[in-house]
A and B are shown apart, each in its own frame.
Chain A
């Protein structure tokens, strides 16, 4: 009888130990995921990526960019998907939230071209950029 009790104890302790470890690891994973998909991080990433893409482009090109994660985030923050990317002159601005005023959300490109950003209404997860000469 005593032996059985001890075995039960060992099993419960082990289960609690494993559950606590799993809880710890999942909290850590959630923290990492939340950091990588932060609004400010995505805004900076896409603003720079689009600016560099335009720098490398030539007039007559049409470039598609998958922005699924950013579009999902914008929709959650009640931002119209077609208002996420705006290009004024040679400055690209990416806006995923109304709240924050992130200075990293805009970046300029040196390529002297006319670039237009358009939300792809067919796929609902892409933006396409039309490059034309000035």
Chain B
């Protein structure tokens, strides 16, 4: 009886090992399929760099109107407002791949408010104004919107609040 049982056990062990290796390869196949799917979906999508771009655009505007916490004198002059992006060294030209209808891929708005009286001292906006309406919507193929505020003082120690609103579209190159 003992001998028969041992034989049975050894046969079952072999069978069990074979089944185990089959299961092992099934698991490997599932893991491989998951990795292939994840890699394809990750590298199939473009890198979305619009957040960094909007950050840089906001920093550029902030550096343009202020220096070391002080408001630049030229920022309050009327001719500064006339060509606000040009005076800040910003161009809205983009590559042709976006198509003529969608050429303007940026929108910027700068508001300077007197901190004590709450009056608008300076207000300038430039770019594709239609992009503003997409900011409150939810979805994938939408422009990236960024709002930032900071405080500055002028030479006479008057305090101002600067609000910068930047939008970067470029959905064709950043979202799929």
Top-3 shortest CB links A-B:
A112-B91, A108-B94, A55-B56
B82 interface residue per 8 A CB criterion: no
**Once the chains bind, are A28 and B32 in contact (CB under 8 Å)?**
yes
- Give bound CA distance, A10 to B118, whole Å: 85
CB-based nearest A residue for B172: A103
**Once the chains bind, are B39 and A89 in contact (CB under 8 Å)?**
no
Question: Which residues from chain B sit less than 8 Å from chain A, CB to CB?
Answer: 17, 21, 24-25, 28, 32, 35-36, 39-40, 43, 46-47, 49, 52-53, 56-57, 59-60, 86, 89-95, 97, 105-106, 172-173
Question: Which residues from chain A sit less than 8 Å from chain B, CB to CB?
Answer: 13, 17, 20-21, 24, 28, 31-32, 35-36, 38, 41, 44-45, 48, 52, 55-56, 89-91, 103-104, 106-108, 110-113
- Please, could you name 15 A-B residue pairs with CB atoms under 8 Å apart, sorted by A? A21-B28, A24-B32, A31-B39, A41-B43, A48-B49, A55-B56, A56-B59, A106-B95, A106-B97, A108-B95, A110-B57, A110-B60, A110-B92, A111-B90, A112-B89
**Once the chains bind, are A36 and B43 in contact (CB under 8 Å)?**
yes
Give chain A residues whose Cβ lies under 8 Å from the Cβ of B36.
31
**Once the chains bind, are A90 and B93 in contact (CB under 8 Å)?**
yes
- Per DSSP, chain B at the interface is helix
What's the nearest-Cβ distance from chain A to residue B112, in Å?
21
Among B52, B92, B94, B95, contact of A52 (Cβ-Cβ < 8 Å): B52
CB-based nearest B residue for A38: B43
What's the nearest-Cβ distance from chain A to residue B16, in Å?
13
Among A21, A32, A36, A107, contact of B95 (Cβ-Cβ < 8 Å): A107
Give chain A residues whose Cβ lies under 8 Å from the Cβ of B53.
52, 55, 110
Known: A24-B32, A35-B39, A55-B53. A113 touches B97 (CB 8 A): no
CB-based nearest A residue for B63: A58
- Give bound CA distance, A56 to B55, whole Å: 10
What's the nearest-Cβ distance from chain A to residue B24, in Å?
8
What's the nearest-Cβ distance from chain A to residue B36, in Å?
7
Give chain B residues whose Cβ lies under 8 Å from the Cβ of A110.
53, 56-57, 60, 90-92, 106
CB-based nearest B residue for A108: B94
